[in-house]
Amino acid sequence: MAEPGDKPSVLFVCVHNAGRSQMAAAWLAHLAGDRVEVRSAGSAPGARVNPAAVEAMAEAGIDISAETPKVLTAEAIQESDVCVTMGCGDTCPVFPGKRYLDWELDDPAGLGVEAVRAVRDEIRVLVEGLIEELVPDATA
Q: Which of 26, 54, 84, 92 is catalytic?
A: 92
What are the CB-based long-range contacts (under 8 Å, 24+) for 44-49?
44/15, 44/16, 44/91, 45/16, 45/17, 45/18, 45/69, 45/70, 45/71, 45/72, 46/16, 46/17, 46/18, 48/18, 49/18, 49/19, 49/22
In the sheet that holds 99-102, the strands lie side by side as 37-42, 9-14, 82-85, 99-102
Q: What is the pLDDT of residue 98?
A: 85
Which residues is 85 bridged to in the sheet?
A: 13, 102
Q: What is the pLDDT of residue 87?
A: 73
Q: What is the pLDDT of residue 6?
A: 80
Q: Which of 88, 116, 130, 131 is catalytic?
A: 88
Q: If we measure between CA atoms, which residue out of 31, 80, 26, 74 comes closest to residue 50? A: 26
Could you say which residues of the chain have pLDDT below 50?
Answer: 1-4, 140
* pTM value > 0.85: yes
- Concerning whether 83 is annotated as a catalytic residue, the answer is no
Domains of the chain in start order, with CATH, are: 9-131 (3.40.50.2300)
- Concerning whether 14 is annotated as a catalytic residue, the answer is yes
Q: Which of 10, 13, 14, 77 is catalytic?
A: 14
Q: What is the pLDDT of residue 93?
A: 65
